[in-house]
């Protein structure tokens, strides 16, 4: 794996998380009055990835046949809620909504990480523990060392398990980038002049390849989400919490 800053992997991951839908359509959907949200959630899940209603209560989502346990998502939510710096957000009348939103965000990350890791495997570039360790080392370097990362994690309520989930996704993007660059004959010595991407974002040829490939992965994935956690929105590449 040729060295590069983690910013490239994060850029590609963020692009993937943002999805490939039209922003205007997303805004219009957000402005519309909700109707029967339970029915809407089932319809959206069915249209994208089969019958979500068939999932057991112990399953938060299924991604290409791989289950994501509901208990793991709920555990991450409780970790955030137990953080003294964040606990206030999960109390009072707005607490339930905050928990639902957080659960949807964490499940989104789990789904996206699963897709990315599988995508790397499909390119014969599986994510190893060494890859995850390398991603962590770069994050620590940008955070000012292990102590800086630990402080940032504590401030944000980020558990070690959830960090590992994110790092596996970042490492997968890194491996996907290397595999696509190798297939394109890009050894890093070619012209890396950025080209204008979506919304005016400047992308190098390598970043453009990765962006397009990640969008293909997101489109092809078979995703089912349990209605208790919300619904999968293929246009944004996110789980939307119940009622949204």
Query: Domain ranges in the chain?
Result: 6-184+205-240
By the 8 A CB rule, do 223 and 232 touch? yes
Beta-carbon contacts of 67 under 8 Å, excluding residues fewer than 6 positions away, are 59, 61
Q: Is the pLDDT of residue 64 over 90?
A: yes
Question: In the prediction, which pLDDT does 51 show?
Answer: 52
Q: Is the pLDDT of residue 239 over 90?
A: yes
Q: Is the pLDDT of residue 208 over 60?
A: yes
Residue 204 tokens read as 């190098």
Question: In the prediction, which pLDDT does 100 show?
Answer: 92
Task: Name the more confident of 189 and 171.
Answer: 171
| Distances, alpha carbon 77 to alpha carbons 128, 135, 158, in Å | 27, 24, 10
Question: In the prediction, which pLDDT does 54 show?
Answer: 80
CA angle 40, 46, 48 (to 5 degrees): 105
Identify the top-confidence range among 66-75, 156-165, 195-204, 230-239: 66-75
| Nearest of 218, 223, 224 to residue 17 by alpha carbon | 218
């Amino acid at each position: 794996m040729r060295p590069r800053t983690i910013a490239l992997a994060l850029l590609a991951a963020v692009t993937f998380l943002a999805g490939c839908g039209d922003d205007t359509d997303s805004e219009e959907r957000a402005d519309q009055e909700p109707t029967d949200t339970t029915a809407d959630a089932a319809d959206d899940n069915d249209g994208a990835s089969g019958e979500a209603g068939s999932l057991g209560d112990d399953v938060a989502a299924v991604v290409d046949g791989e289950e994501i346990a509901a208990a793991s998502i709920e555990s991450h939510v409780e970790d955030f809620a137990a953080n003294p710096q964040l606990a206030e957000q999960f109390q009072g009348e707005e607490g339930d909504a905050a928990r639902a939103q957080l659960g949807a965000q964490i499940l989104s990350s789990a789904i996206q990480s699963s897709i990315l890791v599988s995508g790397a495997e499909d390119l014969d570039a599986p994510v190893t523990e060494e890859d995850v360790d390398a991603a962590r080392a770069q994050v620590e370097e940008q955070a000012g060392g292990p102590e800086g990362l630990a402080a940032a994690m504590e401030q944000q309520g980020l558990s070690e398990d959830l960090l590992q989930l994110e790092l596996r996704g970042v490492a997968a993007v890194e491996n996907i980038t290397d595999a696509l660059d190798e297939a394109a004959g890009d050894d890093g010595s070619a012209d890396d002049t950025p080209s204008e991407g979506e919304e005016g974002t400047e992308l190098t040829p390598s970043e453009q390849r990765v962006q397009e490939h990640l969008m293909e992965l997101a489109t092809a994935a078979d995703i089912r989400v349990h209605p208790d956690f919300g619904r999968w929105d293929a246009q944004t590449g996110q789980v939307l919490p119940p009622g949204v």
